[in-house]
């Protein structure tokens, strides 16, 4: 059974989707690559029941009191995408990797573009930290939630990255 809820966040409303009570999607409004079933309402039943832990962990994360998520996840994707998403989950809080570094970690430096494509299709944003992947030159490139949100998430995790303006 698929359920969903909407969680308020400093980035705007986040739509959380659970399949069999396990987090399978976390989407920002107006993000690129939303699933075909995404809309009003999201395929499934509106329910807060499966989302208490996620709601709590996101609140702690945005308060800078949590550096990793423990909520169970089950993203649906190709075998390559799931390998990339597992690699994303290994990037420590406050650190970044380049697409090239991830390709090397996955065993083939030639798959940089495929890593980027899989990164962009990550269905569980924030929890699976695709925002921690940057361009080879350190530039903030590509983020389905928008580069402004990527910049805010990176600055949240590493305040030295923050601009002179407040984050939230």
pLDDT tens string 125-146: 999 999 999 998 888 887 878 8
Q: Domain locations in the chain? A: 2-62, 79-161
Instruction: Collect all residues with Cβ–Cβ distance below 8 Å to 2 and sequence separation of at least 6.
Output: 17, 18, 19, 24, 43, 44, 45
Question: Which one of 54, 130, 134, 152 is the catalytic residue?
Answer: 130
Q: pLDDT by residue (tens digit) across 21-57?
A: 999 999 987 766 555 555 544 567 888 888 999 999 9
Phi, psi for 163 (deg, rounded to 5):
-75, 180
State which fold the 79-161 domain adopts: Arc Repressor Mutant, subunit A (1.10.10)
Among the CATH numbers 1.10.3470, 1.10.10, 3.30.160, 2.130.10, which is that of 2-62?
Answer: 3.30.160
Is 107 a residue of the active site?
no
């Amino acid at each position: 059974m698929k359920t969903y809820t909407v969680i308020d966040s400093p980035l705007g409303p986040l739509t959380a989707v659970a399949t069999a009570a396990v987090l399978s999607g976390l989407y920002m409004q107006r993000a690129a690559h939303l699933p075909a079933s995404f809309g009003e309402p999201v395929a499934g039943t509106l329910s807060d029941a499966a989302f208490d832990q996620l709601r709590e962990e996101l609140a702690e994360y945005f308060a800078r009191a949590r550096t990793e998520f423990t909520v169970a996840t089950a993203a649906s994707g190709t075998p390559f995408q799931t390998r990339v998403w597992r690699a994303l989950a290994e990037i420590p809080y406050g650190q970044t990797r380049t697409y090239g570094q991830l390709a090397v970690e996955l065993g083939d430096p030639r798959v940089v573009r495929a890593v980027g494509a899989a990164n962009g299709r990550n269905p569980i944003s924030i929890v699976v930290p695709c925002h921690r992947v940057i361009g080879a030159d350190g530039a903030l490139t590509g983020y389905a939630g928008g580069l402004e949100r990527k910049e805010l998430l990176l600055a949240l995790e590493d305040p030295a990255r923050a601009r002179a303006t407040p984050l939230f």
